[in-house]
Amino acid sequence: MKIKKAKITLIRKTLGISANFVIQFSVDLICARCLVSFTKEFDESLYLEYVAGRDPLLSSERVELKSGDIDKVYYTGNDIDIGLGIRETIVLAIPSAPLCNKECRGLCLVCGKNLNKEKCDCKISKIGLFTPRLKND
Ligand SMILES: [Zn+2]
Ligand SMILES: [Zn+2]
């Protein structure tokens, strides 16, 4: 992964700091359908509020983001963890099943050919997932 540009705007508030992350980065991914690796460019932004004090829902001091509550981060002491915002921006942007192309045809389940690049004669659409009969059978 490469970060090309990161812009973080911090604004001090009464109870903490609001932070806006704008990050341009590229990631090498593997297509979930055809398994070809490709590089995807992202330009993402994330807004976080760093709130001074302890998270009332957490008993430990460890600060961690919970899903559904990603816009608030509690911190103690004088330091806020900017890295956390950068990591979250990136993690949230990367799809769990990336596709090289929305139209990706994937691999043939029978012969394994990359159907974006070549055609095959497997009749998978008619016979479903059962073993295909060879043409000259
Ligand atoms: Zn693909
Ligand atoms: Zn095939």
CA of 104, nearest ligand number: 1
Q: What is the pLDDT of residue 14?
A: 87
CB atoms within 10 A of CB 51: 17
Ligand 2 center–CA 29 separation, angstroms = 24
Q: State whether 23 and 75 are in the same domain.
A: yes
Residues 72 and 86 placed together within one structural domain of the fold: yes
Residues 112, 46 share a domain: no
Do residue 69 and residue 125 come from a single domain? no
C-alpha 128/C-alpha 131 separation (Å) is 8
Asked whether 54 and 74 are in contact (CB, 8 A), the reply is: yes
What confidence score (pLDDT) does residue 124 get?
Answer: 57
pLDDT 10s digit of each residue in the chain, 137 long? 999 999 999 999 888 899 999 999 999 999 999 999 999 999 999 999 999 888 777 655 555 555 555 588 888 888 888 999 999 999 999 999 999 999 999 999 889 999 999 999 887 555 455 555 555 55
Note whether 113 and 81 are same-domain residues: no
Q: Give the whole-angstrom CA distance, residue 15 versus residue 89.
A: 23
Of the ligands numbered here, which is closest to the C-alpha atom of 105? 1
Ligand 2 center to 136 CA (angstroms)? 15
Q: Measured in angstroms, how far is the CA atom of residue 115 from the centroid of ligand 1?
A: 9
Q: Domain of 79?
A: 2-104
| Claim to verify: residue 115 and residue 95 sit in the same structural domain | no
Please check whether residues 34 and 98 belong to one and the same domain: yes
pLDDT in the model for residue 109:
86
Asked if residue 130 and residue 92 are part of one domain, the reply reads no
Surrounding residues of ion ligand 1, Cβ less than 5 A: 31, 33-34, 100, 104
Q: What share of the chain is helix, strand, coil (3-state, %, to 5)?
A: 10, 35, 50
Cα of 33 to ligand 2 centre, how many Å? Answer: 14
The encoded tokens of residue 79 equal: 């330091």
Centre of ligand 1 from the C-alpha of residue 42, in Å: 18
Identify whether residues 64 and 38 lie together within a single domain. yes
Q: Are residues 19 and 82 in the same domain?
A: yes
Q: Which ligand is nearest to the CA of 113?
A: 2
From the centroid of its chain, how far is CA 20? Answer: 19
> Same domain for 61 and 112?
no
Q: Do 86 and 119 reside in the same domain of the chain? A: no
User: How many Å lie between the centroid of ligand 2 and the Cα of residue 104?
Assistant: 15
Give the pLDDT score at 116: 96
Instruction: Report the number of distinct structural domains present in the chain.
Output: 2
Q: Give the list of residues 6+ apart from residue 31 with CB closer than 8 angstroms, or none.
A: 37, 38, 98, 99, 100, 101, 104
